[in-house]
Structure 1
Amino acid sequence: MVGRLAVTYSAHIGWIAAAVLDSLFLLVLSLVIAREIVRGKNWRNLKVLIPLGVLLGANLLFHLEANISGMADYSKRMALAAIIAFILIIGGRIIPSFTRNWLVKFNPGRLPAAFGSFEKINLLVSMVTMVGWIALPEQMLVGFGFLIASVLLFVQLGRWAGTRTLGEPLVLILHVSYLFIPIGFLLIGLSILFPDTLLPVVGIHALGTGAIGGMILAVMMRASKGHTGKPLIMRKSDSLIYTALLLSVVLRVLSAFYPDSVSWLITLSGAFWITAFLGFSAAYGRSLLKSAA
């Protein structure tokens, strides 16, 4: 909240003070997570500090860019890449794990492939491509990199047996949310290779609203149920909440294809987005507050 207020009143306190105050949250969060990892000696989770550090750097770069040039291109790509990296790393662990747990209990048969060399290669290709995109967003080689990463991630999702979770949407929505990463990569890659046909913002919308928004909502639903003792099943209200988010994603992506209708499409997309997260607050807020008390 302090960061948001600092940016709002940056004209009065100066851009340097605004940048410092706006970056305190990510700095403190990094230190807290590092402390927990060290105390628990859970060294394999140290890697989550890398994208978090990149996100902190992107936040500082945003203020620097805005002050020097009035634009914030590099920092926005950097921040988006950092958050997608989080989903690739953490989602790559929890999605097959949750899927396996549900399938073992309710739908015996083919199980998700374990995190191995294939997933590590996918992660490396995705990371290198996004680094290239941050620095050289119009480079043809970066476009091909996105296409390769997209194909690899589509195959990876197939290895996770998501199609076998149709009986439990609470698990399925994790796969659907993750699916927007290869979709977004594909669209960004095509926009780089065919700039006169496709706008780069199409893929960015798929990543921002679909992958990031969808994964946040899907994980919040599951975690909230787990921490409040609710059954790990998707209720009708949950389905309506996630459907609202999907409608927001579709409309947001479509807005890039219909420039004459962009205003009302984005407005409607925003309305569905707000509906999804307000719906989550209404559905889970009371039980979360009661548990905290």
Structure 2
Amino acid sequence: MMGGTLDNRDRLELRRRRMEQAPPVLRGGFRPFFLGAGIWAAIAIAIWLWAFTVGVQQLGALDPLAWHRHEMLFGFVGAAIAGFALTAVPNWTGRLPIAGAPLAALALWWVAARILPFVAPELPLALLALIDGGFYLALAALILREIVLAKNRNLPVALAIALFGIADLLDFAGSAGLIGNDIGHRAGIALAVTLVSLIGGRIVPSFTRNWMQREGLIGGLPSQPTRFDIAVVLATVIALAAWMVAGAVPPVGVALVFAGSIQLVRLVRWRGWRTLASPIVLVLHLGYVWIPLGLLLLGATGLGAPIPSSAGVHALTVGALAGMILAVMTRATLGHTGRALHAGPATRASYVALHLAVLVRVAASLVPEHYQSLLHLAGGLWIAAFALFVLAYAPVMLRPRPSE
């Protein structure tokens, strides 16, 4: 230590000590945030179903629909993004993970943003917005620091998280009537789907190829991302940005259908049908397939088909976002705790429940005469999926690695 400041070696040593001294749940970002995401996913939908059934006028500081949309996106999805980023960045940079007290502070910040609207609804909406959106801006700054110090190339991930925080603020502004009510929500969906398209485009073919090679499946292995993949992501970004601003109107519908079509081609190139023997690999493809399906449904709405926009939105959110989140949370938790990458009975059941929930929720939008019954069925399947995840993985995240 020189001049009262810490050099890089001192900082690494401090983090190493934090890792050793911290309770197991604070030894990696995936532990508190994946656990929080799973618990909140089940609780938030249970609250939403109760509010919808009873017909309450207010949930905390927001109306029920605004609260539901906000918490599923900036609460549940946001926690999963935080857990993934805090876990992936050490792998990308070679630096030690954020652990111990700093990780606890981040997790408590996220928890506070979930609870404050209920325990202190009289607080100004602007303050609640700064607490919630500020979490993602602080997380982005932390991720950016790690990437810059390591001279790593994953700057777009830090930028996307920062923009996600801004979308969070815009969603609050919409609830306050300061801007259009859908802009922040659509921006959050667009950013999250872009992240899944970007990162999923790396991990899905990579994990698929690795598994196929271990199984001795030769020929037709998925390739590394190419210029075609870059074009697919760019087309998706443009289509979703247009939808964010203008909604599902005819010109945007064309862009969405085009993006969905080439996303489908991209997915077929990864040959997911060859992974039927490995649910933990197959589920990555099942989660990703909802990106092209969601884009195509939204595009069809924009082109005048009798399909409510909620069908496409829920295909993207319940299907693509939650589907990929559950797939990555189960795989990453097993891998980072030194366990075999094998989907046990509870994990497989959670996969089935979630994808049934997507099908039923999309059907609820398409069959309005059975909307309420299908909505409750979808909600029950969703709760079952994440309750199974928590029951199966909480013991893993609360205990040390077998080697520790």
Instruction: From 176, 182, 202, give the equivalent of 2:286.
Output: 176
Helix, strand or coil: the match of 1:273?
helix
Instruction: From 303, 325, 332, give the equivalent of 1:223.
Output: 332
Taking the aligned partners of 2:191 and 2:120, their CA distance within structure 1 comes to: 25
Query: How much identity, in percent, do the aligned residues show?
Result: 36
Taking the aligned partners of 1:188 and 1:210, their CA distance within structure 2 comes to: 14
Task: Please say if residues 205 and 252 of structure 1, whose CA atoms lie closer than 8 Å, have aligned partners that are also in contact.
Answer: yes
**1:39 to partner: Cα distance:** 2.2
Residue 108 of structure 1 is matched in structure 2 by: 218
Residue 141 of structure 2 is matched in structure 1 by: 31
Instruction: From 155, 158, 167, give the equivalent of 2:268.
Output: 158
**1:171 to partner: Cα distance:** 0.6
Aligned pair 1:207/2:316, yes or no?
A: yes
Residue 72 of structure 2 is matched in structure 1 by: none
Helix, strand or coil: the match of 2:221?
coil
> Residues 68-83 of structure 1: matches in 2 within 5 Å?
68=177, 72-83=181-192
**1:242 to partner: Cα distance:** 0.5
**1:10 to partner: Cα distance:** 6.3
Taking the aligned partners of 2:220 and 2:211, their CA distance within structure 1 comes to: 12
Q: 2:376 is matched by which residue type in structure 1? A: T
- The Cα offsets for residues 140-172 of structure 1, whole Å up to 9 and x where unpaired, read as 111001111111011111111212111211111
As a proportion of its length, which structure holds more helix? 1
**1:9 to partner: Cα distance:** 5.4
The higher radius of gyration belongs to: 2
Residue 97 of structure 2 is matched in structure 1 by: none
Taking the aligned partners of 1:224 and 1:91, their CA distance within structure 2 comes to: 17
Taking the aligned partners of 2:371 and 2:168, their CA distance within structure 1 comes to: 28
Helix, strand or coil: the match of 1:194?
coil
Aligned pair 1:4/2:114, yes or no?
A: yes
Taking the aligned partners of 1:207 and 1:181, their CA distance within structure 2 comes to: 6
**1:113 to partner: Cα distance:** 2.2
Residue 131 of structure 2 is matched in structure 1 by: 21
Aligned pair 1:94/2:203, yes or no?
A: yes
Taking the aligned partners of 2:191 and 2:177, their CA distance within structure 1 comes to: 23
Helix, strand or coil: the match of 1:12?
coil
Task: Please say if residues 129 and 169 of structure 2, whose CA atoms lie closer than 8 Å, have aligned partners that are also in contact.
Answer: yes
Aligned pair 1:84/2:196, yes or no?
A: no
- The Cα offsets for residues 208-234 of structure 1, whole Å up to 9 and x where unpaired, read as 101011100000111111122221122
Q: TM-score, normalised by structure 2?
A: 0.69
Equivalent residues, number:
291
Unaligned runs of 5+ in 1: none
Unaligned runs of 5+ in 2: 1-110
- Segment drifting more, 103-112 vs 173-182: 103-112
**1:24 to partner: Cα distance:** 2.4
Task: Please say if residues 248 and 309 of structure 2, whose CA atoms lie closer than 8 Å, have aligned partners that are also in contact.
Answer: no
Alpha carbons of structure 1 residues 57 and 70: separation in structure 2 relative to 1, 3 Å: closer
> Residues 114-153 of structure 1: matches in 2 within 5 Å?
114-153=224-263
